[in-house]
Structure 1
Amino acid sequence: MDITIRPANPDEHEPLGEITAQAYLQDGLLDYGEGDEYLPVLKDVASRAAAADVLVAVDGERLLGGVTFVAGPGPVADIARPGEAEIRALAVAHEARGRGAGEALVRACVDRARATEGCAAVVLSTQRSMHTAHRIYERLGFVRTPERDWNPVPHLDDLTLLTYQLTL
């Protein structure tokens, strides 16, 4: 597979939203399945692209997955502080997994962070069950930052998100 990472084109927003939503649904990461309130957020790539950089992994014309790179605090960031970039909504289509697309997307975000003036770290949030993603992050030098773990839905105790950081 020849993977290319590049900015998403507007005509890829909807298909990338579907890939992202299906990745979360198929991995059992949404508490209420198709009725989960986070599902429309995952599908809304256009809104993320309006406020941050959405990157895609492609093999020729085939869309494999994508990620949102947030250059610092702002409307799309969850945990980024000044001087930090954030990785959001990393997703790879099930049929494309295990071929390096996820790692290539994370590497592209790290490269963008290094090229961002004043950026000293990259941060991200992840669910406990995303073990494959955790392995990618750790292989690339990210470390757990349990003091920053947080819960986006306080009434759901089991939804505490784990955080990672890579100091640049």
Structure 2
Amino acid sequence: MILREATRQDLPAVLALLGDEDTVLDPTTITVGEAHERAFAAIGADPRNEMLVLTDGTDGTGTVVLGCLQLTYIPGLARNGQERALVEAVRVRADRRGAGLGAELMRLAAERARERGCGLIQLTSGKRRTAAHRFYERLGFARSHEGFKLRLEP
């Protein structure tokens, strides 16, 4: 398995993963909109953000996207000024779950954050995603905080 930064070529596959976590969507059927292009470019231009893909590497280039996540590095004064890593948009292809890919994806992301000097990795997960909660707990994540979100409508 290869964990690498997503390229523009990976964008349809990433959007397919994010579009439906219970079904495998064909990336060639995904419409990449202008807002997606802007967001992807902004992530790539920001040294504190990474859109990462897990690939199988069987074709030598690692172009078959099996999973993805976004890592955002947050500076802070707490924890003696250590950065923390925020994990978002974690997905593994529906037809490849149960084989340890999610655990490997998270292990590699944590390793990447540790190498950067982060003292903590954190994430949120929707309240209804109970299988995901069990998965994160198996990986050692603790339910240490209650999260809140406020939707800002235009």
Deviation (angstroms), 1:154? 8.2
Partner of 2:11: 13
The AA in structure 2 aligned to 1:48 is I
The AA in structure 1 aligned to 2:148 is W
Going from structure 1 to structure 2, the CA distance change for 1:94 and 1:46 (only over 3 Å counts) comes to farther
Question: Contact 1:71/1:85 (CA < 8 Å) preserved in 2?
Answer: yes
1:69 pairs, out of 60, 68, 71, with 71
Going from structure 1 to structure 2, the CA distance change for 1:63 and 1:140 (only over 3 Å counts) comes to same
Partner of 1:129: 128
Unaligned runs of 5+ in 2: 24-34, 76-80
Structure 2-normalised TM-score? 0.70
Larger Rg: 2
Percent identical across equivalent pairs? 27
Of the structure 1 ranges 81-90 and 120-129, higher mean CA displacement relative to structure 2 is found in: 81-90
Q: For the residues of structure 1 that align with 2:102 and 2:96, how far apart are their CA atoms?
A: 9
Going from structure 1 to structure 2, the CA distance change for 1:65 and 1:46 (only over 3 Å counts) comes to farther
Q: For the residues of structure 1 that align with 2:97 and 2:91, how far apart are their CA atoms?
A: 9
Q: For the residues of structure 1 that align with 2:95 and 2:107, how far apart are their CA atoms?
A: 21
Q: For the residues of structure 1 that align with 2:85 and 2:143, how far apart are their CA atoms?
A: 16
Partner of 2:51: 54
Partner of 2:141: 142
Unaligned runs of 5+ in 1: 28-39, 74-80, 156-168
Q: What do residues 44-95 of structure 1 show as CA deviations (whole Å, max 9, x unaligned)?
A: 544433331111111224211200111215xxxxxxx962111011011211
Q: For the residues of structure 2 that align with 1:136 and 1:46, how far apart are their CA atoms?
A: 31
